[in-house]
Amino acid sequence: MKFRGKVWKFGDNIDTDAIIPARYLNIWDPQGLAAHCMEDADPDFVKKMKPGDIIVGGENFGCGSSREHAPIAIKAAGIACVVAKSFARIFYRNSFNMGLPIFESPDLWGKVKEGDEIEVDADAGQIRLIGSAAARLSIQPVPPFMQELIADGGLMNHITKGRKK
């Protein structure tokens, strides 16, 4: 897995109410949710971003409610992956379960600005900052079980595959 895209930067403790406000939780169609992605953190986010872009977050990204609408909205908006210093646990779990690639990097946040371009190489466990020759950062290795989930295309596919065996 390799992702190359433009960085959108957010701070610490970006909660799921900021990612997809509860007033839109009467929607569950992914495209409908995508239209409000990150709305209470940055009201113009959806207008500004392009598919393939990357969200870079601080500590505890995705804290708050268990709503899977949050990773769904991010994925459906076309964000390639999220890299944060750390993730809240239900968001972390949900992302793997539904197939949104996310990576932990304690150092990236301090090294990029909004609009920079980066390349995340999941297989090599590295992030490259485009345009700055020396800048390569490592990402926290993804546990083998989680890699399996992603390779199978999420938890439900993983289970159905296991059942067929």
46 in contact with other proteins (CB under 8 A): no
Contact 39, 20 (CB under 8 A): yes
Part in contact with other proteins (CB under 8 A); list of ranges 3-11, 46-54, 101-109, 149-157:
149-157
Is the Cβ of residue 50 or residue 89 nearer to other proteins in the bound state? 89
74 in contact with other proteins (CB under 8 A): no
Of residues 103 through 142, those in contact with other proteins by CB under 8 A are none
Is the Cβ of residue 23 or residue 50 nearer to other proteins in the bound state? 23
Kindly state the smallest distance separating residue 27's Cβ from other proteins, in Å. 6
60 in contact with other proteins (CB under 8 A): yes
Which sign does the torsion angle of CA 105, 87, 148, 6 carry? Answer: negative
Contact 106, 134 (CB under 8 A): no
Kindly list the distances between the CA atom of residue 135 and the CA atoms of 52, 108, 118, 131, 164, in Å, as whole numbers in the listed order. Answer: 21, 10, 10, 9, 45
Kindly list the distances between the CA atom of residue 35 and the CA atoms of 31, 43, 46, 63, 129, in Å, as whole numbers in the listed order. Answer: 6, 11, 7, 21, 29
The residues that touch other proteins, with contacts defined as CB under 8 A, are: 13, 15, 17-18, 21-23, 25-28, 40-41, 43, 59-60, 63-69, 72, 86, 88-90, 93-94, 97-98, 143, 145, 154-157, 159-160
